[in-house]
Every structure is written in structure tokens, then in C-alpha cells.
Amino acid sequence: MGPTVLYHCSCLSSSPLPPPPHLPSSSYSFHPLHTLFFCEECDAVRCNRCVSIEVSSYYCPNCLFEVPSASVRAEKNRCARNCFMCPNCRNTLSVVPSDPPDNGGASSPIGSLNEPPFFLYCNHCRWDSAEVGITFEKPTGLAAQLQKFEDSAPDSLEFERLKEHSEPFLRASSLSSTIGGHAPAHPSSAAHSHHAHSNSITAAASAALARDIPGVSKYNPLARSTSGRGGSGKDRSKNKDEMPEYRSRVEISKPSATGGGGGEADVELMSHLEDIGYIATLEQRWVNSWVSPLQTHELKPLRIPLHSKRSKRCPACAHILIKPEQKAQSVKYKIKLVAATYLPAITVALPHSQRSSAEAAKRSLAKSTSAAIDDDKNSTSDMQAGKTYPFHLALSNPLYDPIQVRLSVQRMHVSTASSKDGTSSEKARRPPFAISLPTSTFSVAAFAEAWEYEDDEDMFGVDDEELGLKGSLATDGRGKLRTVGVLEKRANVTIIGGEVVIGKEARGNVKFNMLVSYTYRSDDPAPSESNDGDGSSISNLKATATKQPEVKTFAFYTVVDLGHIIPREESRTDLDL
């Protein structure tokens, strides 16, 4: 693993400042840039942890059929066509005719002569459904053929009974929640209020969440809705707890009657066990909602669960960030607001390890000693305590306007943070390393489609050569290494040099928070309006009306991980060896 840069999303904490990077829990607040979204309305970064998700379509991952949402519920979220999963290894099963596989020899038995009966066969573990007595007259509509077995299974009977039992209750609560009208009153739930109408289960859940709890004062986002609520709240509480007790179809204390095994029968089986493979593993058994057979040879094929395509919304303003195309296997999006198109992408590199690995690669081409490369990599990519290393940050601008960037390392509260757990290590009182970065602003040129043209590779190649030359010339000309500052600009990428001084007693990783703020010319005519977003957003959007009215500043935090420090003792032993 090389050095990495992760971006901060402040959704987990109330303060816009990121947590100190040396805490293990801080990793939950930092994400790779490509997984983040950007809400234009709030002017803020959003991550997968904070966006709200809606299912936009369902499809079967095997036959890729798009399942309408009505039949999703009827089929219990599973594919109702020909798709089955091996109960043994979870592989997809294929339908094969019953002419014996051995006449095909080494070739697969699929479709040689097509003789009924058909059965399901696993290409991976060679399980077949004939083992459990499931065969089919024709190779299509398998789910329909199995339907009658499934409908008579104890779990589906129990589920039907439970559904029947709660049906009047669900209907009553969905009715009261729509009449009570608390859903449209809440601004953010207005968007999914139509769900409440269509889906009685969500309605029941929201009604249950919103119901009065004795002794607990009701939370109300809007004061005026309290008065309108009194009447509806009364009649809801009336029908709320009038649910009759549910009696299950079979007594669970008598499991042998259902074929679920248990008790004496299982003990008997276990005592005569010869091979552990006869017993179904926990993984094979616990995906089912009902007691499933203990023995491997009694497992039934499973219908494949459906997958979904999801659209994502900003948690604060409910604007859509991701909206996929309806077609199940399309990878295009109608709306796609990802952070990579708004924030500059930052990559970090350690020139000392890169140089050595490149040289090693060249050398290996000449001598073809592959073992030598690994040795070199191990020794040079890590940093040793008590030394100084340069590092490069490459910022690439995705915007069509040039940006002015300023980098600053966040003041680390290492002294305070480590004093909490500092009883163990008194060395950690001093910051283990110091980072120096250029303090002045620098520009990153605009992204232009021209850079994307495919015939510019010669230019890139030349640039790389020049970079090497320039670097060496610069060091020779000035006599000393110039590492901190703007090193190179090309296309929409600017490379910044920084330096890390590692303390003598340092250990762990060189990891620091870096604030990146950039200014750009905005096309948005009304920046003041989006300024009144919630305080938790990290954006400190300012309309600086000094020289240009449409200049905007956006700031975000990143954590830069340069890699592992080799402690002093360790490196010394390495040398001894």
C-alpha cells in the first residue's frame, strides 16, 4: 500500500473539524474521493453513510430481469423465474436434463439430448436437486413448478398466517397515519410521503414511531401541528394496542413434528456421525427464516434474492444526488453529483520510494532478477525515524475554471490527545513528526477537454522525461534540494512539494489532517441563499464581494497517510542483519 489521501465527510460529528487522524475511529470519517457525493444546494460533501437511499428498481442478479415492485412483495424479494441458488455453496444452479452426465465425458452435461425429467445442478460443488427429490417435467417456469411445495412449507404457511393476523392492524394504522397527516407536515418527509400511502408497512412503522409514549413529551418539529394532533392521536391510541395475541400454527416446543429435528433425534444423528460434511454448516442454515434441516443432504435449493438499484438523496435538503437509469444493467445515471467533479483530486507520492522502484524495474529488465525488486521495495518505501523526507502532492482540477488553492496542515492536538493515553508512552508528548507545506496560494489550471484527447501521450512522455531532468538540474543549480513549493504545472495538474521531518522517537504512521481551501469563479448568481444551510456542513461558503462578485471559496479536510515509520531500534537491527 502506497501513501493515500482520504477526504473528510463531517456527517458523523457535529463539529466541522475532522477527528485527530491517529485515533483509530477517525477512519470512519474519511473516505476515498470516488465514493463521495456533492450536494450543490448545500454546497457540501456527502458520503454513503449519510445519504438517504431509495430503491428505484429491483432486478434478479442472475437472469437480470427487472421485477416490478408489486411482484417483489408477492414473491418475497426473490426471483420468480428460473433462478436458484445451490444450498451447499450459494452458486447459481443450472437446469440439466436427466441423461446421465457420464456419457459426455469431460464436457459439461448441459443440454445434450434434453430428456425429461430435469433437475437443478451446481457447476461448482456438483450438488443436484435429484438428491433431495426435486425434479421437473419441463426446463422452464421452475419457480412455478416448485410453488406448490413452497406454499405448503411450514415457514410460508406461518408467514401467511402472521400476515393475515396483522392485516387489519396494518390497514387501520395506515389509515390513521394518512388521516392524521403528520407526514406532510414534516418538510423532509414530504418527499417520501407517497411511500406511506402505497406501503402499509412503512406507514405502520412511522405510526408506531410517532405514537405517544406516556411520560415522554412528544417531539414536534412544528408547533402548530400539536393542536391538530390531539384528536387524531386519541383515536390512534385507541386502536393501537388492541391487537389480539398471535398463536403460531405449530408449537415450537415440539419441533420433531415439523421435521425441524432437535432434541433426541439430533443427538442420535450426531452419535452416528462419520463425516462432518453430513451436517449443514451454520452458513448454509441460518439464511433461512425457518428451522432448516440439520443434514446436508436435506437442504433445498434457494430462490435467488433480488438486487436493487438505488437513488440517493442529500440528507439535509433531500435533493437527488444519484439517480440511476431505469434499465437494470445500465451503468449510466440521469443524475450523478459525485465529489470527484467538484473537488480537486489529490494524490500523494514519496519520491524516494518511487525513484527506487522505478530504478529497480529498469534494473530488473536488464538483469531480470525479480527477487532483488522486492528487497528494494521493502527497504525504501518505508520511512526511518529521525530522517527528513520530501513528498509530492498532485492536485488535479476537475472544474472548467482555474482554481486558487491553499493548503494548511491542521493543528494537531497530539500533546493533549496523547496525554490522555500518555501514561504508557511519555515520548509521545512531542509531535512525532513535523510537516512543512507551501503556505502561499497556488493555482491549478482549468480542466479542458483538450487534455483528454488521446493523441497527447507523446507530450506526456516528454513531460516525464523533462521532469526528471528538471529535478536534477534544480538541485545541482542551487546546491541544495528544493523540496517545498510548487514543483510542476502541467495541464490541469499542479504538483506541490512538501517535507516531513520525523522525530527520533517517532513510531506509527505519518498521518496528518490537511485543510484544502480553494477559490473559483462561480456561475451561481445567488450564493447568499445557499449560505443559510445547516451549521454542520463543513463548507464555509463566502461570497467575497471585493473584486469579483462571483468568487467562491470552498474548503474541505483530507487526511494524508504517508506510510509507516520504521522505529530506530528496528532499523538498526535491520542493518545488523
**Contact positions vs another protein (CB under 8 A):** 34-35, 48, 59, 61-64, 89-92, 94, 104, 107-108, 110-114, 122-125, 307, 322, 328-331, 333, 336, 338, 340, 347, 349, 354, 357-358, 361-362, 365, 392, 394, 457, 460-461, 464, 495
Nearest to another protein of 112, 517 (CB atom): 112
> Do 386 and 358 form a contact (C-beta atoms < 8 A)?
no
Closest to 327 in 3D by CA, of 77, 54, 59, 78: 59
Residues contacting 181, CB < 8 A, separation 6+: 228, 232
349 vs 555, beta carbon nearer another protein: 349
Q: Which is nearer to another protein, 124 or 489 (CB)?
A: 124
- Nearest distance in Å: CB 267, another protein: 33
CB of 572 to another protein, least distance (A): 30
Closest to another protein by CB, 88 vs 418, is 88
Instruction: List CB contacts of 446: < 8 A, sequence separation 6 or more.
Output: 397, 399, 400, 401, 402, 492
Pairing relation of β-strands 403-409 and 442-444? antiparallel
Helix axes 154-180 and 142-151, enclosed angle (nearest 10): 90
Q: How far is the CB of 367 from another protein (least distance, A)?
A: 12
Shortest distance (Å) from residue 118 CB to another protein:
15
Cα torsion angle, 270, 276, 277, 281, sign: positive
- Cell numbers standing for residue 239: 386502536
Q: How far is the CB of 454 from another protein (least distance, A)?
A: 8
Min dist. Cβ of residue 195 to another protein (A): 22
Least spacing, CB of residue 37 vs another protein, in Å: 8
CB of 154 to another protein, least distance (A): 28
Give Cα separations from 307 to 32, 74, 75, 500 (angstroms).
25, 16, 13, 47
What is the closest distance, in whole angstroms, from the C-beta atom of residue 340 to another protein in the complex?
6
CB 94 within 8 A of CB 142: no
DSSP sequence for 422-459: TTT-SGGGS-SEEEE---S-EEEPPP-GGGG-GGGHHH
Q: Are strands 66-67 and 52-59 parallel, antiparallel or unpaired?
A: antiparallel
Q: Is the CB of 92 or the CB of 145 nearer to another protein?
A: 92
Closest CB to another protein among residues 123, 404: 123
Instruction: Decide whether 52 or 354 has the Cβ nearer to another protein.
Output: 354
Of the candidates 244, 95, 109, the one whose C-alpha atom is nearest the C-alpha of residue 169 is 244
Contact 177, 206 (CB under 8 A): yes
Nearest to 35 by CA among 27, 22, 45: 45
Give the separation between CA 25 and CA 128, rounded to whole angstroms.
47
Number of C-alpha atoms within 13 angstroms, CB side, residue 160?
A: 10
Min dist CB 74 to another protein, Å, is: 22
Is residue 96 within a helix (H) or strand (E), and if so which, with residue range? strand 93-97
Report the residue number, 236 or 323, with the smaller CB distance to another protein: 323
**CA neighbor of 520 nearest in space, from 403, 399, 441:** 403
Q: Which is nearer to another protein, 210 or 393 (CB)?
A: 393
Residue placing its CB nearer to another protein in the complex, 270 or 462: 462
For 153-306, strand residue ranges (E) read 302-303
Q: Which is nearer to another protein, 227 or 368 (CB)?
A: 368
Closest CB to another protein among residues 97, 180: 97
State the helix-helix crossing angle for 351-367 and 370-381, rounded to 10 degrees.
170
Smallest distance from another protein to CB 456, Å: 9
Q: How far is the CB of 275 from another protein (least distance, A)?
A: 21
Write the single-letter amino acid at 225: S
